[in-house]
Amino acid sequence: AQSAGTAPTLAVIGGDGIGPEVTAEALKVLRATIGADAFSTREYSLGADHWKATGEVLDDDTLAEIATADAIVLGAVGTAPGSTEVPSGLLERGLLLKLRFSLDQGVNLRPSVWYPGTPTPLSEEVTGAGPIDFVVCREGTEGLYCGNGGVVRAGTPQEIATEVSLNTAFGVERVVRDAFTRAQARRGHLTLVHKHNVLVNAGSLWRRVVDEVGADFPDVEHDYMHVDAVTIALVREPQRFDVIVTDNLFGDIITDLAGAVTGGIGLAPSANINTSGKFPSMFEPVHGSAPDIAGTGKADPTAAISSMALLLDHLGRPADADRIRSAVGTDIASRLAGPMRTTSQIGDAIAALV
């Protein structure tokens, strides 16, 4: 945690694929916004290459060191989806999820804003119905992401594989309270997303907690929507959402869709927040490592840059955060007319605007 008066230390993990490229631009914009002296960085080369070279994904000493930082800036982790170069999930679970879980980052915050004119797969009838501006508060340390489950008779016709979703009142309450607090500061509306008609155990817990915490926020209206129905609403009427609160897996799925409808996940930032302040929070784009375009200069660093606005919010510098948000908005508006730019050209342009 940050000591008063000293410049915060950022642990920087570029990761795999386009991760390091977009992270470099994010730090460029951060320097342009608050000055190079306003923070210090410690770089960690973790990811596929580090694993291939050392056989380690994230050792305990490194994790302990990262845990002393004031915040973490992460690029992206993992190899191509179909690839077998690295065992399935090794990097995602051993690095990204290990950080989220060990550092108890219970709130995964994912704002979605559509800047008019930005390319979207939605029709003008849908986007023209009003501003699209919502946030998803995704639980970050529970659910199906716990790595709980197992396999018997692996590789045989009798194989059985299980995955267990763990949900605690503690973890659910934490993200639900955070979501209500945000809704109160926004448009006063919260939607719980689940599938309680099938997942009755977990669904009942989530509903109960939302009702109970909701009683502390009489000025926030709340409703409920099944996750399958949410995918429909996100493409037909994304304006209906203000704050969405949901579990880890549903949050994963709907935030990719939310990113797509609001201009592509090249624009979608995220924060993994440790609400107790005991461990650092982590800021990363929603997108993955996209190894297919790594090194080509085609990666859009905007999501990583917007994540720096969330970092500044978190560090108690909302005015600086707004400077990044408005520079990003201006840049996005200007790029509509202009030619394609490289990763670093976009970073330079936004850095010049803050």
Task: List binders of a second copy among 105-124 (CB under 8 A).
Answer: 120-124
Min dist. Cβ of residue 205 to a second copy (A): 4
302 vs 188: CA distance, rounded Å: 28
The yes or no reply on residue 252 touching ligand IPM (CB under 6 A) is: yes
DSSP states along 14-54: EESTTHHHHHHHHHHHHHHHH-GGG-EEEEE--SHHHHHHH
| Secondary structure of residue 91 in the 3-state scheme | helix
Could you give the residue numbers annotated as active site? Answer: 145, 195, 228, 252, 256
Take residue 160 and report the two structure tokens written for it.
Answer: 């059985």
Interface pattern 264-283 for a second copy (x via CB under 8 A): -x------------------
Q: Site residues for ligand IPM, window 33-72 (CB under 6 A)?
A: none
Residue 70 and residue 2 in contact, taking contact as beta carbons nearer than 8 Å: yes
> Closer CB to ligand IPM, residue 144 or residue 349?
144
Answer with the entry of ligand IPM, a second copy, none that 113 interacts with (C-beta below 5 to 8 A by kind).
Answer: none
Q: Is 289 exposed, middle or buried (0-12, 13-18, 19+ CB in 10 A)?
A: buried
Measure the N-to-C terminal CA separation of the chain; round to a whole number of Å: 27
Q: Which of 5, 55, 128, 157 binds a second copy (CB under 8 A)?
A: 157
The yes or no reply on residue 154 touching ligand IPM (CB under 6 A) is: no
Q: Judging by DSSP bridges, how do beta strands 40-44 and 9-15 pair with one another?
A: parallel
Other C-beta atoms within 10 Å of 85: how many?
10
> Closer CB to a second copy, residue 147 or residue 318?
147
The yes or no reply on residue 205 touching a second copy (CB under 8 A) is: yes
Give the type of residue at 126: V
Interface pattern 217-236 for ligand IPM (x via CB under 6 A): -----------x--------
Give the type of residue at 347: G
41 vs 69: CA distance, rounded Å: 9
Q: Site residues for ligand IPM, window 69-88 (CB under 6 A)?
A: 78
> Closer CB to a second copy, residue 38 or residue 129?
129
Which span (2-10, 181-189, 204-212, 336-344) binds a second copy, by CB under 8 A? 204-212
Q: Site residues for ligand IPM, window 91-150 (CB under 6 A)?
A: 92, 96-97
Which span (14-22, 91-99, 131-139, 174-182) binds a second copy, by CB under 8 A? 91-99
Phi/psi at 72 (5° precision): -125, 135
Which residues would be at the binding site for ligand IPM (CB under 6 A)? 78, 92, 96-97, 197-198, 228, 252, 286, 288
